[in-house]
Amino acid sequence: NKVLIAKNEMAAINDMYSRMINRCFEKCVESFHDGELGLGESACIDRCVQKYGQCQVKVGEVMQKLQDKMAAQMNAQQGGAMPAR
């Protein structure tokens, strides 16, 4: 079971990584006249990666809030037997 969880976590990271790369490439690299990354493109990619990470945090916060809200609602229904996560 621990292997399952670890496997899943690695798959999750891989998945995030490839989505990020795809989006940042799409947003930062417009032309292919040159086979090298220009200065602007490089800077764009740096910032894109950082911003993507911040988006991840933001979305994670929303999800956490919703989970807490759901847990609180379940608690209320069960008469407060279980503590919120």
Partner 1 sequence: KMAMQDMNAVLSGLSGREQKELMLSLEEMQLKENFTTYNGLVERCFANCVTTFRSKTLDEKEEKCVTRCAHKFFKAVRRAAEVFSTGQTPPPSALQSPE
Provide the binding-site residues for partner 1, judged by CB under 8 A: 4-5, 8, 11-12, 15-16, 19-20, 23, 27-28, 43-44, 46-48, 50-52, 54-56, 58-63, 66
- Our CB check for partner 1 shows the closer of 12 and 84 to be 12
Q: How far is the CB of 60 from partner 1 (least distance, A)?
A: 8
- Our CB check for partner 1 shows the closer of 4 and 76 to be 4
Q: How far is CA 1 from CA 7, 8, 41, 43, 74, in A?
A: 10, 11, 43, 42, 27
How much helix, strand and coil, in percent to the nearest 5, is found in the chain? 80, 0, 20
